[in-house]
A and B are shown apart, each in its own frame.
Chain A
Amino acid sequence: EAGVTQFPSHSVIEKGQTVTLRCDPISGHDNLYWYRRVMGKEIKFLLHFVKESKQDESGMPNNRFLAERTGGTYSTLKVQPAELEDSGVYFCASSPISGSSYNEQFFGPGTRLTVL
């Protein structure tokens, strides 16, 4: 079974540019989460999808961040325009909606974003 995949693995952009991160969850996982880890800080929750619906986006820093999950499969997280403080590692995680492992979030390898 393929795990959670994220693309790109690393992105370097200049302040003011736009970047789009992609996450492909484990097949069949309706729950999809985005997290961010800024250097030296804890992993912070950004938002949670159930299928294509946003259940909780209370962790989104501001309106420069836009997450979508059209069709309830893969998700994208767009940052526009990027600022220096957006640098960090963006993790995606997924879990099934029910069953014995519904509470276990499987993390992807992360996208390291560097804004110069």
Chain B
Amino acid sequence: QKEVEQNSGPLSVPEGAIASLNCTYSDRGSQSFFWYRQYSGKSPELIMFIYSNGDKEDGRFTAQLNKASQYVSLLIRDSQPSDSATYLCAVKTGGFKTIFGAGTRLFVKA
């Protein structure tokens, strides 16, 4: 079992729709959870982080964390073609080591 699992996609949504990206992790001791966006050929860029159970909203993005289910999700409202990218879920345990998922490719169709 991978430490951080994501559906590789591609996930295709129409412009204006809600994109829902999901991630599960195996280490119950994980404490910090991150969503990175990576455009093709570019470096990862942090868009959201969450530490506590529940929802965290930032503009069109909402991160959701359920530690009991070991599940993290990212919702993108009013999806735009510029949101088309690979979204990486990352998990940090007690130290500074960050474990990345393989990413989900998102396509937003105009």
Contacts and interface: CB of A to CB of B under 8 A. Distances in A.
The answer to whether A and B assemble together is: yes
Interface in B92-110: 92, 95-103
B1 interface: no
Nearest to B90: A43
Interface residues of A, number: 22
A42 B43 contact: no
A103 B95 CA distance: 11
Given A42-B103, A44-B100, A48-B96, A104 B43 contact: no
Interface centre among A35, A48, A55, A105 (most CB of B within 10 A): A105
A110 B43 contact: yes
Interface residues of B, number: 21
B96 A55 contact: yes
Contacts of B101: 42
A109 interface: yes
Interface in A73-112: 91, 103-110
Interface in B70-100: 88, 92, 95-100
B98 A109 contact: no
A116 to B, nearest CB: 21
23 contacts: A35-B100, A42-B2, A42-B4, A42-B88, A42-B102, A42-B103, A44-B100, A45-B97, A45-B100, A48-B95, A48-B96, A48-B97, A55-B95, A55-B96, A56-B96, A91-B43, A103-B49, A105-B98, A106-B46, A107-B44, A107-B45, A108-B43, A110-B43
Contact of A104 (B4, B46, B96): B46
Interface in A17-34: 31, 33
Contacts of A44: 100
B32 interface: yes
Interface centre among A45, A104, A110 (most CB of B within 10 A): A45
Nearest to A95: B96
B95 A43 contact: no
Given A103-B49, A104-B49, 11 more contacts: A35-B100, A42-B101, A43-B44, A44-B100, A45-B98, A45-B99, A45-B100, A58-B97, A103-B34, A107-B43, A110-B43
